[in-house]
Structure 1
Amino acid sequence: MNRNHAAAMLISVAAFSLSTSAAIAQDSGAMKSMPGMHMDAGPAPSGSAAGKLGDLDISGGYVRAMLPGQPVGGGYITIHNGGKTDDKLASVTSSAAGKVELHEMKMEGEIMKMREIKDGIAIPAGATVTLAPNTMHMMFKQVKTPFKKGGTVPVMLMFDKAGMVDLNLPVVSAKGN
């Protein structure tokens, strides 16, 4: 097995086992060319959570079931800013976890790295930002009860300008369907 194939396998296993997610920014301008912003996350599972908060349309919200022994869970959502003012997803909280962090995954050379996004995620005016597997995502830590398919996970999304919104994210299989 060559080095690139081994690295790709390791990255795939790490991404799956962490149930991590990613972000996609969609607009007609420069965001498509930003590192880590791509359009291949696929559709959200049927029955995913949706909501509206001011100019923000929130859709495609879900979390993945956790595998036995898995210490963290991954959550995903799409946010469209139909307004004329930029906003920011500043934080996420959940009664199902002691802590929820916003994370991103990106390649640094031949190594996939994940890091917390401490300053929040920008939601530019007129743009759609998707937290999806293998890019930006919500990372649920200190999970009280492992997420099981068929359940729900309550979250509160806090935005700098729009305020806060509560959603119940359905739990889909660990494979995301």
Structure 2
Amino acid sequence: MSKVRHNPWGNVFKELWLRVVNTFNSIPFIAFFGAGILFVGGVGIWLPYLSAIISGEKNASFLESTNVFTYSFAILGTLCVDIILNNQRTTKDFLSLGIIFGVIALGCCVVGYLTTKTGSSILLNLGTLLTLVIFICANVNDEKFDNNITQADLGPTGYREADLSKIKDGEGHE
């Protein structure tokens, strides 16, 4: 008898879409990503450029390949360690898709760096952008980015108080 596998693509793309939407629905995550990952984590990218501009260098490169490569490699490495230590936050199919795109991002970064060691590499920047998207998808649903309302604060209906005017029977009557 042949084995018939369930087609996971619909669920994977639905999960991906929900995570992208959750990115914009969480002000704490936007703050964490903008301030922590881009600003503080990316200091090795923007600070050398800013220093070069301040010191008057004419040929300063904003997305210098070495700096962008180490930034992207550090994020991908951190995501790999997170997968090894704790992979219970996501479905196996979604995790597998993340690994596939992580390998693609790493490949883009390595090839982009090896072909353009000084200056800015489009392929490396594309790999880094993909790395950041993977980071967002891997971390946006973390509970630390949820609002402060816990299930204990809510009643059995899932709300703080039941609104009797909104309770209707199966026919739509009150």
- Give the structure-2-normalised TM-score: 0.28
Question: Which is helix-richer, 1 or 2?
Answer: 2
Rg larger for: 2
Q: Say which structure is richer in strand.
A: 1
TM-score by length of 1: 0.28
Structure with more relative contact order (C-alpha pairs < 8 Å, separation 6 or more): 1
